Amino acid sequence: MDAIQPDPKPIKKIEEPENVTSNETDLLAHCPTGQGFRGEVFQNKSAVHLPFLEFVHRGHCHLKITKDYMQTAVNAFAIFIAGNLDDILRLPSLYVLHSARTIAMMKIAREKMAATWSVVKGSTPTEAIPYETLERYRPLFKYLNGKEMAKLNLSDSRILSYIGTHPDLSRHQVGVVASRYIQINPRWTEPKYLNMMNNLLCGVPMIFMRRIPENTYLQLTHQIFYHIRACDPLQRRFYLAMMMRTQALGKSYSWSAREVSRLGLLLAEVSGQDLSAINPEAMSGITAQVMLEMPIHSLKSITEMQLRYLEPKPLNILARKLIAYQNQQLAASGVHIIPSFSLISIHYILFYLISIILLCKLYSLCIILRFLRFYYRHCTLFSMHVEITSFQYTIILSMIPLNYYMSTNSKAIDCNFVY
């Protein structure tokens, strides 16, 4: 027998990652990887493993980008979990930019999220960051501080609208950016620039907004008040009062559906008396986004006629809010509340149990009647017609002589199930 020949191909050594900077003094520099179990396959595909966190040396981690994108993502996830800020700062900037949405889903320290901005920016000055980079960085943009946001190129209308339409910024962040924008643009009070600011209006002091002419508020676009999420209730009431002036939209009883739609989130500050005075046809301007923000003490004032003109989605949100409010009031009074979904589940269970029991009884009755047919041929038998629908069971029993069935060569028992 011939001896087994060894594999002529030499074993390849593990290549050093290209993105690791050579540092002779850092003897602990390594690339965390879960590829040690590459022999394990599932459906002819190599498995993906999280690196052993006990072997990850904090402050010495580097990310090696390979063609196995899933394993690379898991390795980066291990660095975010077990590494420190120095490890995150060594991540490739382009990889962080492409994975911004996934990184934003992680439940890690806020400092690590904010450190990704230093990775993306690199040596580029903040004012030179283009709009395209900011758009790809949108999921993590909320972790920047206001001072860093104010350094961006606010002269670019796209960057200004980008900051103004971001839904997750705080009032402090928009306040710092708005203060900077007022300094660089003396004409910020014109409607053209106010329409680009959007959420930045929440950072402008109200004493400045009082100096704006009343007819300027009428020139604001319809979407501007859908982005003022950073405003507190006092600011929203201020803007609502300015919009309800005679030279703007006027009182609530004169609003049309378009004007109701223009108010956006300001409707959350409308009193119950003003809300009930709105024309029923104008209620179609309330969107689901606005209905989520409206308080229950105002929604209780909506009339039955106004409910007919609400869109289905806002109407469902209103119904859920009213049911939750009623349950809360009953629970406060000591009444035990069974959730509505539990009642529905119980009804379905009882419905199916009764259906099964009734079908079993019908089947047994058919068998018994077939058995009696052979012994009582001169007796009168039953002709049973069973109609089963989704909501009712109808059983019709009729007495028909046996000779009718014998003459027509038909069965004595006729069981029809109609679904």
Across-strand partners of 384?
A: 397
Q: What are the C-alpha distances in Å from 275 to residues 4, 179, 269, 283?
A: 90, 35, 10, 9
* 7-44 per-position pLDDT tens digit: 444 433 333 344 444 455 777 787 887 776 555 666 76
Q: What pLDDT is recorded for position 41?
A: 66
Residue 384 has phi, psi (to 5 degrees) of: -110, 130
Q: What pLDDT is recorded for position 402?
A: 36
Name the token pair of 244: 């309800």
- How many beta carbons lie within 10 A of that of residue 292, not counting itself? 12
- Asked whether 288 and 317 are in contact (CB, 8 A), the reply is yes
Check pLDDT > 90 for residue 240: yes
* Residue 30 one-letter amino acid: H
* 334-371 per-position pLDDT tens digit: 765 555 444 445 555 666 667 677 667 676 766 666 65
- Non-local (6+) Cβ contacts of 415 within 8 A are 362, 366, 384, 385, 386
Task: Flag whether the pTM goes above 0.85.
Answer: no
d(CA 86, CA 369): 85
What is the helix (H) or strand (E) element at residue 394, kind and residue range?
A: strand 393-400
In the chain, domain spans: 14-91, 145-250, 267-329, 360-419
- The 10 Å CB-count burial string (b at 16+, else e) for 45-73 is eeebbebeeeebeeebbbbbbeebeebbe
Q: What pLDDT is recorded for position 49?
A: 76
